[in-house]
């Protein structure tokens, strides 16, 4: 667009010169979708246009462009919807997109695995600064600790010191004189509670065993209970007390015997019961008495179970009670075993490897009284050991391991597209799943452009991301993008078109080097002049240099020209010497026809020939009345 103003110059009442000034402006700019534009100094040469986007949108392109030579320095940018991309999956958790999108305003549900709890609200939103709740964590749950581990007459003792997190174990430890009744191991459940376990009850010493010459009187046989001994007629208690007590180890203390009053019976030395066991005698320490060893639960006899008193001496070595140890449990094929202690009553949990499951109703073995683990637990194959092989993609599944009915999802790598279904289900074997095939655009034969040609940058390569160059024939100029790219939707990106050069204004010859106004030389044009009642805004545009002559030149695909630049380009490629104006009159006539600057040639004093012409700025004026 151009504005024209005529300026008449007088000295006194004498007309000296007339100056025609043309001011150029750039095209009107509309704000982008979901955006705004702010113009500084309108659309005149040198003005700037600043762009902003609405909340949730980001600028794609230059946010500031400048008007120069009727053309903006860059295309109007677009406002694209903000994309937060897929939110990161927290450790021990998962992410689910509610709408399946990751753009501004999208919502994601953050969830934690079993045994873990969220540190923040479980919803995350795509905001202008990215996903909210970015510090979301899945924290492991814990069971009660400290004084909360106390139980009646005992306490729960973590197998790993002070660790009471989900999945950890604790042993039931009873106070002195009490014993565990029930399961002596408990596990921290996902609801932060210790799984049901045994209780601590008083130890029971059972019925006291004495020789035939003693009668006992007692009420209970549990811890701290007492029994009173009475010898039969003709016998006395051998010792300082006739009372025995049920001790904390489950045995009656001390041993009591009765001896005949009239004569002395040969005795064997007193025998202390072995650690973790007790000896009962058929006739106390007297000759012929047999001592029988009994061990506590979880212990076994090492040596002979009995000893005999003969002539004041006990036969053989004293038997002892050894701890029953089942040793490390041996995992069966395709399984692993997790365990703590290996004594009687200890437990071990069996876990099958991927593609296998427990063959039975329980996954727990126990160390038994006979020193073996039981029951035996085996794993059977589910039929989904290995995932189907896939190229150029990856699998995703949300589970701790693959079991029957587990579903995996296939996602193709960048530059590849899915052919077939995108998921497979384990149901004895994996169901059919699709393939990732390379993205290819139409071949070269289908790539044509009127009055030009398109050439692949790599021969016969039309894969995703490959490019092609656009070139125009002689006499045509490229308008738009000079490079086209193979896109993810298997199409080539938009490119420019080859448009025929229009007949340019014939511009050649010599322009005056200066204007002479009342004897003064003016070497530059007037930038702004106030004319009449209204205001006049003046802008200058430098005209393109005009070559003397030359052959037509083919345009190249690397040039992306504006309308004004195309005019200059065509001027240069089509102007010939025969188009030059022959004289001052013809020169003035053509300039007036095109509303350009009117100049008077300056002749030298010698020959009357016009001096060499320079290419001055054209000036266009907008008149505001």
Q: What is the pLDDT of residue 31?
A: 93
Compute and round to an integer the Cα radius of gyration of the chain.
52
Residue-wise pLDDT for 475-484, tens only, equals: 999 999 999 9
| CB atoms inside a 10 Å sphere around CB 297 | 12
Higher-scoring residue by pLDDT: 606, 180:
180
Q: Is the pLDDT of residue 21 over 50?
A: yes
- Choose from 49-63, 207-221, 563-577 the range with maximum mean pLDDT: 49-63
Q: What is the mean pLDDT of residues 548-553?
A: 36
Residue-wise pLDDT for 438-461, tens only, equals: 898 998 777 889 999 989 888 888
Q: Is the pLDDT of residue 574 over 60?
A: no
Q: What is the pLDDT of residue 568?
A: 54
| pLDDT over 90, % of the chain | 21
- Give residue for tokens 């677009």: 78
| pLDDT over 70, % of the chain | 75
Report how far residue 466's alpha carbon sits from residue 443's, in angstroms, rounded to the nearest whole number: 12
* Mean of all residue pLDDT scores within the chain: 76
Give me the DSSP letters along 105-128.
Answer: T-EEEEEE-TTEEESS-SEEEEET
Q: What is the pLDDT of residue 297?
A: 84
pLDDT band at 365 (very low <50, low <70, confident <90, very high): very high
Q: What is the pLDDT of residue 554?
A: 36
Q: What is the pLDDT of residue 5?
A: 57
Angle at the Cα of 338 from the Cα atoms of 332 and 339, rounded to 5 degrees = 115
pLDDT band at 215 (very low <50, low <70, confident <90, very high): confident
End-to-end CA distance of the chain: 18
What does pTM read for this prediction?
0.32
Q: What is the mean pLDDT of residues 31-46?
A: 90
Q: What share of the chain is helix, strand, coil (3-state, %, to 5)?
A: 5, 40, 55
- Beta strand spans in 138-270 (E): 138-140, 150-151, 154-158, 169-174, 178-181, 185-187, 199-202, 214-218, 226-231, 235-237, 243-246, 252-253, 258-260
| CB atoms inside a 10 Å sphere around CB 365 | 21
Q: What is the pLDDT of residue 83?
A: 92
Residue 93, helix vs strand vs coil? strand
463 and 437 Cβ atoms separated by less than 8 Å: no
Q: Is the pLDDT of residue 337 over 80?
A: yes
Q: What is the mean pLDDT of residues 213-241?
A: 82
* Six token digits for residue 275: 């650690």
Nearest to 54 by CA among 28, 82, 26, 96: 82
Q: What is the pLDDT of residue 601?
A: 28
Of the listed ranges 104-113, 391-400, 557-566, 612-621, the one predicted with least confidence: 612-621
Of the listed ranges 20-24, 233-237, 406-410, the one predicted with least confidence: 20-24
Q: What is the mean pLDDT of residues 606-622?
A: 35
Q: What is the mean pLDDT of residues 34-47?
A: 89
Report how far residue 148's alpha carbon sits from residue 507's, in angstroms, rounded to the nearest whole number: 100
Q: What is the pLDDT of residue 334?
A: 83
Q: Is the pLDDT of residue 384 over 60?
A: yes
Q: Is the pLDDT of residue 78 over 90?
A: yes
Q: Is the pLDDT of residue 314 over 90?
A: no
3-state SS of 282-350 is CECEECCCEEEEEECCCEEEECCCEEEEECCEECCCCCEEEECECCCCCCCCCEEEEECCCECCCEEEE
Report how far residue 224's alpha carbon sits from residue 244's, in angstroms, rounded to the nearest whole number: 10
Q: What is the mean pLDDT of residues 396-409?
A: 76
User: Which domains can be identified in the chain, with CATH numbers?
Assistant: 93-140 (2.10.70), 146-202 (2.10.70.10), 335-381 (2.10.70), 393-438 (no CATH), 444-500 (2.10.70.10)
Nearest to 239 by CA among 275, 267, 217: 267
pLDDT band at 55 (very low <50, low <70, confident <90, very high): very high
Q: What is the pLDDT of residue 2?
A: 53
């Amino acid at each position: 667009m151009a504005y024209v103003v005529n300026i008449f110059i007088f000295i006194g009442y004498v007309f000296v010169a007339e100056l025609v000034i043309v001011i150029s402006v750039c095209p009107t700019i509309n704000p982008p979708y979901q955006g705004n534009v702010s113009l500084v100094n309108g659309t005149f040469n040198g003005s700037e246009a600043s762009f902003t986007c609405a909340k949730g949108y980001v600028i794609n392109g230059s946010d500031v462009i400048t008007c120069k030579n009727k053309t903006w320095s860059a295309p109007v940018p677009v406002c694209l919807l903000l994309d937060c991309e897929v939110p990161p999956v927290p450790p021990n958790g998962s992410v689910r997109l509610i709408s399946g999108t990751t753009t501004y305003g999208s919502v994601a549900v953050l969830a934690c695995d079993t045994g873990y709890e969220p540190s923040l609200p479980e919803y995350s939103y795509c905001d202008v600064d990215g996903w909210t709740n970015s510090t979301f964590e899945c924290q492991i749950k814990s069971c009660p600790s400290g004084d909360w581990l106390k139980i009646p007459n005992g306490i729960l003792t973590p197998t790993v010191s002070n660790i009471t997190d989900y999945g950890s174990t604790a042993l039931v430890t009873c106070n002195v004189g009490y014993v565990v009744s029930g399961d002596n191991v408990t596990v921290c459940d996902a609801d932060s509670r210790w799984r049901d376990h045994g209780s601590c009850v008083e130890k029971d010493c059972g019925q006291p065993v004495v020789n035939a010459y003693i009668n006992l009187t007692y009420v209970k046989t549990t811890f701290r209970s007492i029994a009173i001994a009475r010898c039969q007629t003709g016998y006395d208690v051998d010792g300082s007390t006739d009372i025995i007590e049920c001790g904390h180890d489950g045995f009656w203390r001390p041993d009591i015997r009765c001896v005949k009053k009239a004569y002395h019976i040969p005795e064997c030395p007193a025998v202390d019961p072995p650690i973790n066991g007790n000896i009962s005698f058929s006739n106390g320490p007297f000759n012929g008495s047999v001592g029988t060893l009994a061990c506590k639960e979880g212990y076994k006899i090492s040596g002979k179970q009995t000893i005999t008193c003969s002539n004041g001496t006990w036969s053989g070595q004293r038997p002892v009670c050894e701890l029953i140890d089942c040793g490390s449990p041996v995992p069966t094929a395709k399984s692993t075993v997790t365990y703590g202690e290996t004594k009687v009553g200890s437990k071990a949990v069996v876990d099958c490897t991927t593609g296998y499951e427990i063959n039975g109703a329980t996954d727990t073995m126990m160390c038994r009284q006979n020193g073996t683990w039981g029951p035996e637990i085996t794993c059977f194959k589910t039929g989904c050991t290995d995932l189907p092989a896939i190229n150029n993609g990856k699998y995703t599944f949300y589970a701790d391991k693959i079991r029957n009915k587990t579903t995996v999802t296939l996602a193709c790598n960048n530059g590849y597209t899915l052919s077939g279904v995108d998921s497979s289900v384990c149901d004895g074997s994996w169901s059919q799943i699709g393939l990732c095939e390379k993205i290819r655009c139409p071949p070269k034969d289908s790539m044509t452009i009127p009055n030009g040609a398109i050439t692949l940058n790599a021969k016969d390569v039309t894969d995703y991301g490959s490019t092609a160059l656009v070139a125009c024939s002689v006499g045509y100029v490229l308008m738009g993008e000079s490079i086209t790219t193979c896109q993810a939707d298997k199409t080539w990106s938009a490119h420019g078109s080859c448009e025929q050069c229009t007949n340019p204004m014939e511009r050649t010859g010599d322009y005056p080097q200066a204007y002479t106004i009342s004897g003064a030389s003016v070497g530059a044009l007037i930038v702004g002049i106030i004319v009449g009642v209204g205001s006049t805004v003046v802008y200058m545009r430098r005209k393109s240099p005009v070559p003397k002559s030359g052959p037509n030149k083919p345009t190249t695909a690397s040039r992306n020209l504006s309308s004004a630049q195309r005019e200059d380009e065509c001027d240069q490629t089509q102007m010939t010497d025969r188009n030059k104006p022959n004289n001052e009159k013809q020169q003035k006539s053509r300039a007036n026809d095109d509303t350009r600057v009117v100049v008077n040639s300056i002749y030298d004093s010698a020959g009357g020939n016009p001096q060499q012409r320079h290419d001055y700025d054209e000036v266009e004026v907008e008149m505001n009345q």
